[in-house]
Amino acid sequence: ALLPYVPRVPPTALPGKLTATTFALERPCCVFDRHTNASDAVWLVVAFASASATFRNPPSRADVPLYEQLPTAHSYMTLETAAATYTCSAPSPAVLRVGGDTACGGQGSRDPCNGPLPSPGPYRVKFLVMGCHGPKAETRWSDPILLRRAASPSTIDPAPARRGSDVVVIASILASLGAVLAAVVLGAVGVEVWRSLCHRDLGTGAFAHRSYRTHHIPPALPQPLPPGCGCSPPGLGCFAPRPPGLCPAQ
């Protein structure tokens, strides 16, 4: 049976909706109820858009094209899920992640794998119901899904992506200039303070050396008393001569 459902990428904003190796799909809900039973499985067919028209549904599970055959067969099948997962009452996630299993590939396993997609595509997908005796129902092919192109390692900007790289560079330059300017200002202030202290110390030291080393005044020696002042104590001098009769007896 050909079902009218068309798979699509969610139209709303979603983190990682499209990356270089994965994409998200809306989960088909209540689409397969009338065409499945408990033993059936629902697969997702992933094919290059140019190869979707030539894809042929496998007659049995043993003929399911594997993930490792994508480079040569240009198609594979993945996300094998019990049909009951897509019923109306099933509490399932709102989206399906295609290409999210990074452990796929290179292990020689024959099990279906949901590995990363090897190129931007574009791809087309459809859901296929497989029973014990082969395919039972399928949806229509999706519109082409183009992934984001991976950047070359040589073009990766090491600056954080949360802020613009130009803003980060300018902020770094301004911070460096501010640090240099602050260091220059502090250095100039320190030099001026040091010079002021040196000049102050130099003035007092020089004055002390000149005062006490080059202008030393020796202590005054006792002078002889003039005649008529024999009563003055030695060293006090004589201010006016007195008559000899006024001097006290010694």
Q: Are 51 and 74 in contact (CB under 8 A)?
A: yes
For 2-150, the fitting CATH number among 3.30.70, 1.10.3110, 2.60.40, 3.10.450 is 2.60.40
Gyration radius of the chain over CA positions: 52
Per-residue pLDDT at 199: 54
Per-residue pLDDT at 198: 53
Spatial CA neighbour of 136 closest among 245, 33, 217: 33
Per-residue pLDDT at 36: 85
Question: Per-residue confidence at 90, pLDDT binned at 50, 70, 90?
Answer: confident
Q: Is 31 exposed, middle or buried (0-12, 13-18, 19+ CB in 10 A)?
A: buried
Amino acid identity of 181? L
Pair type for strands 41-48 and 134-138: unpaired
Per-residue pLDDT at 206: 46
How far apart CA 168 and CA 160 sit, in angstroms, is 8
Residue 165 has pLDDT above 90, yes or no: no
Element (H, E) at 137: strand 134-138
Higher-confidence residue: 5 or 242? 5
How far apart CA 148 and CA 145 sit, in angstroms, is 10
Per-residue pLDDT at 238: 46
pLDDT tens-digit readout, 97-147 = 999 998 886 655 667 899 999 999 999 999 999 998 899 999 999 999 999
pLDDT tens-digit readout, 9-41 = 999 988 889 999 999 999 998 899 888 888 899
Q: What is the mean pLDDT of residues 150-163?
A: 49
CA angle 189/200/207 to nearest 5° reads 165
Per-residue pLDDT at 196: 62
Lowest mean pLDDT segment, chosen from 52-56, 129-133, 145-149, 184-188: 184-188
Longest dimension (CA), the chain: 164
Spatial CA neighbour of 42 closest among 18, 20, 25: 25
Q: What is the mean pLDDT of residues 190-219?
A: 52
Lowest mean pLDDT segment, chosen from 65-69, 91-95, 97-101: 91-95
| C-alpha distances out from residue 51 to 71, 76, 123, 144, 191, Å | 12, 11, 9, 11, 79
| pTM attached to this predicted model | 0.60
For the chain, the structural domain boundaries read 2-150
Question: Per-residue confidence at 211, pLDDT binned at 50, 70, 90?
Answer: very low
| CB-side neighbour CA atoms (13 Å) of 250 | 8
